[in-house]
Amino acid sequence: MARVLLFGRLSDVAGWRERELECPTLSALRTQLSQEDAGLAEALAAPGVQVALDQVLVRGDAALQPRSEVAFLPPMSGG
């Protein structure tokens, strides 16, 4: 099971912050999340949303391991 984390506006849209999901790849995970929740699908596809796999930013697809941590990160704003 991969651990899925949502940050910022994404967790407000989805109504959850953390879930465990069984998915072989990042793209399969996106598809599953998007099919379950159209609002979240739109929010994940918004410009500037980045993905971190085991705390490293990734672009494109990647294989998920049983204990992978996948974080969806909307545009960042500190300071």
Partner 1 sequence: MITLTDQAFDPGALLTAFCQGRSETGAVATFTGLARAEAGAAATLELEAYPGFTEARIGEIAAQARTRFALDDFSIVHRVGRIAPGEAIVFVATAARHRRAAFEACDFLMDYLKSRAPFWKKETGPDGARWIEPRDQDHADIARWETPQ
- CA 69, CA 64: separation in Å to the nearest integer? 9
For the window 28-67, what string marks contact with partner 1 as x by the rule CB under 8 A? --------------------x---x--x------------
- Asked whether the beta carbons of 78 and 59 are under 8 A apart, the reply is no
The values of phi and psi at residue 5, to 5°, are -120, 135
Choices 1-9, 19-27, 29-37, 60-68; region in contact with partner 1 by CB under 8 A: 1-9
Which tokens hold the place of 11?
A: 């967790």
Contact positions vs partner 1 (CB under 8 A): 5, 7-9, 12, 48, 52, 55, 71, 73-79
